[in-house]
Structure 1
Amino acid sequence: MSAMAKKAKNFKKSKTGLYVSLASTAFGGISVAKQIKMARKDNDFLRLADAAVSAAAIVTGLAILYRELKRLGDDDVLLG
């Protein structure tokens, strides 16, 4: 396996990979916000409950990614 392939394989464990994961997870929050808005408009309790669970999953995911980012510190795989 070449050095470039090894770096690409460990992308998720790098700071850049974590930032990309944080951003994509945060964009999921936009979808959940729209879902909550529609559920409130339609007075649909089941959709509102689903949106609340999704929001909790997004918050948890962001917290985990933030913890990993802090834990990674300066040991960035892609930077050397």
Structure 2
Amino acid sequence: MLVLRRKIGEAVMIGGTIQVQILGIEGDQIKLGFIAPKDVQILREELYQGIVEENQAAKEQASQIQPDHILNLLKNFQR
């Protein structure tokens, strides 16, 4: 883990395309600003973990579906 000290207004570059700037300090929280290409998704860690958990649950649910059931669903869908 890289640990840096930055002052308000200073920034850190990630990979040459992502800039993280320190915007302010409010109590025990630090306000960050991100400048990144539009194709780079930036999420809070708790949201990212929620997505990972939902994807894992969907994968497990999909693995429980029997192939015959899927074929029947497809046949009914085409009608």
Say yes or no: TM over 0.5. Answer: no
Shorter-chain TM-score bucket reads 0.3 to 0.5
TM-score, with structure 1 as normaliser: 0.38
> Would you tell me which structure has more helix in proportion to its own residues?
1
- When Rg is computed on C-alpha atoms for both structures, the one with the higher figure is 2
Q: Which has the higher contact order (CA 8 A, sep 6+)?
A: 1
TM-score, with structure 2 as normaliser: 0.38
